[in-house]
Amino acid sequence: MSAIQILEEKLLGNFYSLFRVGYTYGLDFDSFWLIANNVTCSDEEKLTEQLLAIYQPTGEAVDKEHVAKSIILASTLQKSITSVALLPDSSLELIFENGVKLLFPTDTEVVDWHWALNESSKDPYHGCIVCAFAPGDVQW
């Protein structure tokens, strides 16, 4: 099977029931995790601006982007994935049943891996199912 076939088999129609935001991001799909050094959404910047305007503690957060990312990830919690794409730069794009599009990019600086499906939420090199170590470098 190819990397995209594995990703589609694991992710299409599936949902995550737990997520982690912090040094890395993690989505728990019960029998495996999708972990990443970054996750983005086109709504992130606008949401951060709105939060800064209406909820003052957002401005005092150590990592302000985590506030918006947490809201976006919570909005896709237990929502089925309707589309999976592996982009030319090896970024992973997921679209959920509520229309939210998450991107797991491969442009994060100074990292030795970008995103991975693995058996735990730990080291992507152990129990790796599919992993993007660098742009254009997907391994399975």
Count, residues in the chain: 140
The dihedral over CA atoms of 7, 116, 69, 20, expressed in degrees to the nearest 10, equals 110
Question: Do the Cβ atoms of 138 and 90 come closer than 8 Å?
Answer: yes
pLDDT at 137: 86
- 34-55 pLDDT tens trace: 999 999 999 999 999 999 999 9
- What count of Cα atoms within 13 Å lies in the side-chain half-sphere of residue 60? 4
Structure letter (DSSP) for residue 37:
S
How high is the pLDDT of residue 108?
86
Query: Which parts of the chain sit beneath pLDDT 70?
Result: none
Question: Cα separations (Å) of 27 from 15, 16, 46, 53?
Answer: 9, 6, 23, 29
Domain limits, the chain: 3-139
* pLDDT the model gives residue 82: 98
Report d(CA 1, CA 20) in Å as an integer: 29
Give the distance, in angstroms, between the CA of residue 7 and the centroid of all CA atoms in the same chain.
13
Rounded to two decimals, what is the model's pTM? Answer: 0.92
